[in-house]
Amino acid sequence: MKKTATRLADGRELIYYDARDDAVRDAVDPRPLDPIATRSEIRHDRLLGDDVAIASHRQARTYHPPADQCPLCPSRPGRPSEIPAPDYDVVVFENRFPSLAGDSGRCEVVCFTSDHDASFADLTADQAGLVLDAWTDRTAELAHHPSVEQVFCFENRGKEIGVTLGHPHGQIYGYPFVTPRTRLMLRSLAEHRERTGRNLFDDVVADELADGRRVVLDGEHWTAFVPYAAHWPYEVHLYPKRRVPDLPALDEAARTEFPQIYLELLKRFDRIFGEGEPPTPYVAGWHQAPYRLADRGEFALHLELFTIRRTSGKLKFLAGSESGMNVFINDVPPEAAAERLREVASK
């Protein structure tokens, strides 16, 4: 991998990740952009104990532009974009409309490919491996950012999820706090250790492998399963078999196998609802240990992948119980979801 860092016209950082060592990235951003002025603010909810980002400037962000005006495609003569080069492999840059910025953290965009009409599942294993390299590099780099406590690399796919740019891309959030979901995991982790003397993540993976009914894929270095208490209609958790706290800690064997396992999962997600159905909307995100956690080795890196589509033409909405009380009601038994994901293995 070759990494080349540069700056856009408004001062934001942009980084090219290339598979070729001889790639030259010297294109200059010609746009007359003013410096970014964000109004991101973190407010603490005293009743719930969590934090909310207030970011009114995001109301002006780009919304479903025509394909020939996509800001994530490479620049063309007379049509400059967020990426000055005429082609690229993988690119990461600071979000022009960040939810978190300055003392409130950092938001970055990850473009998986220059092909506007592709999806992550269309990538080759080498391309997916390069994306993994970019996620890993950004996770390591953001450890030095003074306001970042935890990094979340994720992809939203599909208009149903709320995606406003159709180009295959994801995001990286550097939170200035430990997220509520991670705090819940850490609490359960500590309670399990105190009660049993064992690691909760290790026990969850071992129990799923022993049961077998919810296992979707089981490789040499990764295992993927539908969790026993899945919140979403189709939800898969992907764990490396050697527990590590974050992406930089993965060994070479796990890094090599990851593209095959992950691409297979994504292809199966697109087959869940049968031929002729539109691509399955999903959210996929890496859960990593917070940087300043006392015992980071206890946390287990894993990816969570889920869709809000519960059946053909129907979505799972977060209504009264879910939105009001955070109590999920799942219409699809996890065992049935796992069986379906095993049935639709890619050819």
279 within 8 A of 157, measured Cβ to Cβ:
yes
Copy the structure tokens of residue 248.
């930089």
Copy the structure tokens of residue 94.
């600071």
Choosing from 64, 116, 144, 169, which is the catalytic residue? Answer: 169
Copy the structure tokens of residue 69.
């005006």
Phi-psi region of 78 (alpha: psi -120 to 50; beta: other; left: phi over 0): left
The structure tokens 């990494």 sit at: 3
Burial of 257 (0-12, 13-18, 19+ CB in 10 A): middle
Nearest to 142 by CA among 170, 169, 173: 173
In whole angstroms, what separates CA 40 from the centre of its chain? 21
301 within 8 A of 250, measured Cβ to Cβ:
yes
What single DSSP character describes residue 132? H
Q: Is 169 a catalytic residue?
A: yes
> Which residues carry out catalysis?
169
